[in-house]
Amino acid sequence: MALEAAGLQAVAFDGVAHGESAGRRTTVLDHVAGMHALQERHGRFAAVVGHSLGGLAAGIAVRDGLAAERYVAIAAPTGFDSVVASFRRLVGLPDALHEALCDRVARDLFPGEPGARERLDLVRHPVAADVPALFVHDVDDRMHGSAEARRLHAAHPGSELLVTAELGHNRVLDDPDVVAAVVEHASASLLVAR
């Protein structure tokens, strides 16, 4: 189902230091700020959809007041600790360094945010139950394992879970079945209202 057929207009942005946007580093809070800026310009959203760090940011934004009817996270980590764990694993740092690395990153990236590790966690602090959520993840995702989506799904009662195979972290975005499921989920509140 195409966005237009569902009555949806897409508004998208590249997060800071992503895609064609400027910058060399970003935080999930930069993504959240971008979403709020878009909402100020375009109004309430039928759905907020994010990939990877953007999926985590979308959930945090909606949880913390961004006006959206629905939420979709594709290949998203569960929170702060999960992002650090993925980084640590990808660069080959041992598990024993996890706590010290999390504490250091939290101090450096969020100096005025006490409790950032807990606050930026969608398992401990999920999106409200009245915002239907869809979690999409591929079993072959090497960035953030599919267990992330299973944990998010468990923390969000009533959410939907779509697990794919052989698509990895990025190709999941181009899969026709994934695109159809995301558009169907995003447009569901519009179809009920008609």
Q: What is the pTM of this model?
A: 0.88
Instruction: Return the percentage of the chain with pLDDT > 90, whole number.
Output: 71
- The pair of structure tokens assigned to 27 is 């935080």
Q: Under the phi-then-psi rule, with left for phi > 0, alpha for psi from -120 to 50, and beta for the rest, what region is 20?
A: alpha
Q: In what order do the strands lie in the sheet with 133-138?
A: 45-51, 68-74, 133-138, 160-164
Q: Does position 19 have pLDDT exceeding 70, yes or no?
A: no
| The pLDDT value given to residue 17 | 60
Query: What tens digit of pLDDT does each residue of 110-153 get?
Result: 888 889 999 999 999 999 999 999 999 999 999 999 999 999 99
CATH number of 29-79+121-193: 3.40.50.1820
